[in-house]
A = this chain, B = another copy of it.
Amino acid sequence: MNSVDMQNVPHLTTALRGPLHQLEAHLLAHQAEIENWFRNQWLATPPPFYASVDVRNAGFKLAPVDTNLFPAGFNNLNPAFEPLCVQAVHAAIERWLPTAVRVLLVPERHTRNINYLESVAALRDILAKAGLEVRIGSLIEDMRNPQKIPLPSGRTLRLEPVARVANRVAVGDFSPCFVLLNNDLSGGAPILDDLEQMVIPHPSLGWSERLKSVHFSHYRDVARELATRVDIDAWLIDPLFRNCGEINFMKREGEECLADNVEALLAQIRRKYREFQVDKPPFVMVKADAGTYGMAVMTVHDSDELRELNRKQRTRMSSTKGGQTVTKVIMQEGVYSFETWGARQAVAEPVVYLIDRHVVGGFYRVHTDRGENENLNAPGARFEPLAFAGSCITPDRDREPDAQPNRFYAYGVLGRLATLAAARETAHSQTLPPECDDEPNAVAAG
């Protein structure tokens, strides 16, 4: 890591640092307990293959706001930590399919998003360096022949149409041991239904089937368990939330429930802000409970805003990725982003990556056009990635709690907490797969 990297760390608004400094100090002082706790948690509930967690750092509070089990953005990680990713993939393969040799990586369909394709290429390279034979299977429906896509990084991506024969998928003559999904299948993919091959992560783990309210109620549990251990108020790491039953934005059904709950939530946050002497207006994020891609999300400072939605706002809240209708929402405490980057004070949101149980790095979404209380992962939102300069697993107790390695460590703890919540949420789907027949003689006489 060179000296330039060392400086690439966003600035945290100092006026609000006090309590976070305390939080980071607590996490650091209880590191041995935290690591012990995580070790035992992973033994009880195995981690997903991979995950990325959006974290927001409000200075007084650190909280995850989204946990993605089909992460993109591998191209935004610090190349210096690629070996960490490779080592973690060894662990993931050992856990899921120690006999595996051949893997079919199935990415999202959108081939025009160069950044996403760079992520797929970066992920492919990590898998290959861990010793897997990787091919990329495209679900694009009209694809007939392999397609080579040269990328700005110099990498080339080779997409091949996925073919199904009986209960197996293949590309060309390459019959994989397992399918690694980097696609949440919110558009559906019957070609992958009921395969003889293992599909990891399980297709039911996309945000189109998961409910944020279920995820965050598991998160609330794990946050409380950890908070008890390290003796902090769980609120410092846990965003409050509420939800209603069925709603229909177009028909204005459920509007009262929404407004009432937002009001109650704002009051709850206000009390916490008073308790922790936070002098900022509270706000709430209203999101589709089964949503992704930052669609159907709005920021609310006052419950009246929900009673005064215009047609355009209603329409925007009514459907999410792939045109799915929003029938449930989650109202979640808004968490300020008080990390800024550069002279223009661009808001910076950390994203933490895990492979298996290991935090392998992260990056900041640096957003020059948005405010500190807005959703940074909105459609069309442009951000500059800023790779984490340090790893998230090398805290240094000889330095200040908010020194760079320790702030990254805190992000890693939050990332793992959210991933553990996802692991509990999805435990039902994590059946162990059969062995692969790729390598019938894989185990030599020992």
Task: Enumerate A388-424 residues with CB–CB distance to B below 8 Å.
Answer: 391, 393-397, 424
Which of A's residues lie within 8 Å of B, judged by CB? 1-2, 31-37, 39-45, 80-84, 86-88, 90-91, 93-94, 98-102, 128-133, 225, 229, 357-358, 391, 393-397, 424, 439, 442-446
Q: Is the CB of B446 within 8 A of A424?
A: yes
Docked pose: A277 CA to B81 CA in angstroms: 41
Q: Is the CB of A394 within 8 A of B129?
A: yes
Residues of B close to A445: CB separation below 8 A: 225
Closest 9 CB pairs of A and B: A35-B131, A83-B391, A40-B443, A44-B446, A225-B444, A32-B133, A2-B2, A39-B98, A129-B394
Q: Is the CB of A94 within 8 A of B36?
A: no
Q: Is the CB of B83 within 8 A of A442?
A: no
Given contacts A34-B131, A101-B32, contact A86 B39 (CB under 8 A): no
Q: Is the CB of B90 within 8 A of A131?
A: no
6 A-B pairs with C-beta separation under 8 A: A37-B444, A39-B90, A39-B93, A43-B443, A86-B393, A87-B87
Q: Is the CB of A39 within 8 A of B87?
A: no
* Most B CB within 10 A of own CB, among A32, A37, A40: A32
Docked pose: A39 CA to B444 CA in angstroms: 11
Q: Is the CB of A130 within 8 A of B100?
A: no
Residues of B close to A443: CB separation below 8 A: 40-41, 43-44
Q: Is the CB of A91 within 8 A of B93?
A: no
Docked pose: A94 CA to B356 CA in angstroms: 13
